[in-house]
Structure 1
Amino acid sequence: MAMQELLKDEDIKKALGAFQAPDSFDHKKFFEMVGLKAMSAENVKKVFKVLDVDASGFIEEEELKFVLKGFSKDGRDLTDQETKAFLAAADKDGDGKIGIDEFEAIVHE
């Protein structure tokens, strides 16, 4: 499933444009701008599955670095600092990765 089947292309472009500068990524604002925050838990979990590139059931730190590319191939890589901050905010059980329920929870925070 492609991200464009779940979210509006114009919202994705606008959100990616707002966070072009390194160390500017704010997951809460990003999720709101792309329309994820307003989506049902079921649809947020579909987005998670697109971002879980290796289909492990988790978004690991290495996948998280490329999370914006999951929304569009034009997305930039997150910096190490952004990746670690995002992981720390989402990883509620402290296992070093983001599970599907953790992802849904942080989107709807």
Structure 2
Amino acid sequence: MAMSGILNADDIKKALDAFAAADSFDHKRFFDMVGLKAKSCDDVKKVFTVLDADNSGFIEEEELKFVLKGFARGGRDLTDKETKAFLKAADKDGDGKIGVEEFTALVKE
């Protein structure tokens, strides 16, 4: 499933453009800009399944690095600093990965 089936393509492009510079990524602003924050929990879970590239049921640190590419092919890789900050914000149980419930809570906060 493509993100454009869940979110507006123009919103995705604007958000990716806003965070094009290295070390500029802010997950709260990004989720708000792409319209994900306003979506239902079911839609947030659909986005999670797209970002969970290996279908493990978790978004691991390596997958987080490519999260913007999950929204659109032209997205950049997150820096190590951004990846670690994103993981720290979402990983509430400290297992080093983000589950669907943790992701949903992060988007909705």
Q: TM-score, normalised by structure 1?
A: 0.99
- Measured on the aligned residues, the alpha-carbon RMSD in Å equals 0.3
In structure 2, distance between residues paired with 1:2 and 1:27: 20
Number of the residue aligned with 1:11: 11
Residue 61 (str. 1) matches residue 70 (str. 2)? no
Number of the residue aligned with 2:44: 44
Residue 39 of structure 1 and its aligned partner are, at CA, apart by 0.4
In structure 2, distance between residues paired with 1:97 and 1:46: 18
Q: Is there any run of 5+ residues in structure 1 with no aligned partner, and where?
A: none
In structure 1, distance between residues paired with 2:69 and 2:102: 20
In structure 1, distance between residues paired with 2:32 and 2:93: 24
In structure 2, distance between residues paired with 1:13 and 1:3: 11
Residue 21 of structure 1 and its aligned partner are, at CA, apart by 0.5
Residue 16 of structure 1 and its aligned partner are, at CA, apart by 0.1
The list of structure 1 runs, each at least 4 consecutive aligned residues, that deviate by more than 6 angstroms after superposition, is none
In structure 2, distance between residues paired with 1:20 and 1:34: 14
Residue 4 of structure 1 and its aligned partner are, at CA, apart by 0.5
User: Percent same amino acid at aligned positions?
Assistant: 74
Amino acid at match of 1:17: D
Aligned residue pairs, count:
109
In structure 1, distance between residues paired with 2:7 and 2:41: 14
Residue 64 of structure 1 and its aligned partner are, at CA, apart by 0.2
Deviation per residue, 1:27-81 (Å, 9 max, x gap): 0000000000000111100000000000000000000000000000100000000
Deviation per residue, 1:68-97 (Å, 9 max, x gap): 000001000000000000000000000000
